[in-house]
Structure 1
Amino acid sequence: MHLRALEPDDLEFLYALENDPDIWGVSDTLAPVSRHALREYLEHASVDFHAVRQLRLVIATEIGSPAVGVVDLFDYDPLHQRAGVGITILARERQHGYARQALELLKNHARTILRLHQIYATVGADNLPSMRLFAAAGFRQVGTRQAWLRTATGWQDAVEWQFLLGV
């Protein structure tokens, strides 16, 4: 398992991932993304983390293998040295432990390379697989935001998870 930077060849992978309506609810997306928009994104994806305050890494099972998902650091706060975490695994690749392994790699990268103090995640209260994932990865549940996420069926609570990196 390894994490790598986005490449221009990832266009079709990203197109499939970003246009999967089953994950729009957890990614704050309401509409499909065009290949053109994704090409533009890929052209600028290598911009410095500290400048754009976000980082997307591709999850692959081994070097040269097809992507199975992505892990994101977003909302980077340079003063407090923290960032949010998002992770998405292709539907056909779930239940293989890839997300858990990717979070371990991301925690190490955030600690040793980016020198972050902490990372956090916001998870819909009904997203039990993500709740189990973050708990298994050592994140601590630190609170619940009431009626925080709007869904197709109404408002949902959001559970906040935090991991102190010990930098």
Structure 2
Amino acid sequence: MHTARIFLRAPEPSDLEFLYQLENDAELWPVSLSVAPLSRDVLRQYLENAAADIYATRQLRLMVCVQENAQVVGTVDLFDFEPLHRRAGVGIALQQDARGQGYGAEALHLLLAYAAQTLQLHQLYCTVAINNPRSMYLFESAGFQKVGTRKDWLRTPYGWVDVLEYQKVFTSAK
């Protein structure tokens, strides 16, 4: 899966330090529902099982890499995969200096194609905090529709934040 600028690939053991930095970025914790840092050992164990089939693990993580130098700049995830209902949640995390450069949009485009064509999913969904306009724009631009609001869903150091629920239904999936 690739565009002229990026490609997606499976996680490898060499991604340990990148994942350690990304997973321990406290700015991302509210959206990932994390409340504590992850150890390198926990991430090492994750990487050992990351190649497992999405049908077995009910999740899939792909690394977002820049074509020019193969540098990893983020991850895209399918989670809560439901094979019977052919749906999954989607998440994107980019390192700080890669945000706002279009990598997320390209990665999401590739993930959508993979989900619809290869996995033959019927729909994807995501949750976006209302104080994250970049993510709202990203998912809306990719054809996700806002289907609801959860009030006071995320607790932040500054108070409670609502989240928007988005959904993309693939019309060609049967």
TM-score normalized with structure 1 length = 0.96
Shift in alpha-carbon separation, 1:158–1:80, aligned structure 2, 3 A: same
2:159 alignment partner in structure 1:
154
Q: Deviations over 1:3-37 (max 9, x none)?
A: 10000100011011011111111111111111111
Within the candidate set 46, 50, 62, 1:45 is matched to 50
Give the partner amino acid of 2:99: R
SS in 2 for 1:69: strand
List aligned pairs for 1:1-150, cutoff 5 A: 1-62=6-67, 65-150=70-155
SS in 2 for 1:15: helix
User: C-alpha distance in 1, partners of 2:37/2:150?
Assistant: 28
The answer to whether the Cα contact below 8 Å between 1:107 and 1:165 also exists between their aligned partners in 2 is no
Corresponding letter in the other structure for 2:10: A
Unaligned residue ranges in structure 1 (runs of 5+): none
Aligned partners of 1:148, 1:34: CA distance in 2, in Å? 27
When normalised by structure 2's length, the TM-score is 0.92
What RMSD, in angstroms, separates the aligned Cα atoms of the two structures? 1.2
Matches of 1:10 and 1:87, distance apart in 2: 16
The one-letter code of the counterpart of 2:52 is: V
Give structure 2 stretches of 5+ with no counterpart: 1-5
Q: Distance in 2 between matches of 1:152 and 1:165?
A: 37
Q: In the aligned structure 2, how far is the partner of 1:74 from the partner of 1:150? A: 22
- Residue 32 of structure 2 aligns with an amino acid whose one-letter code is S
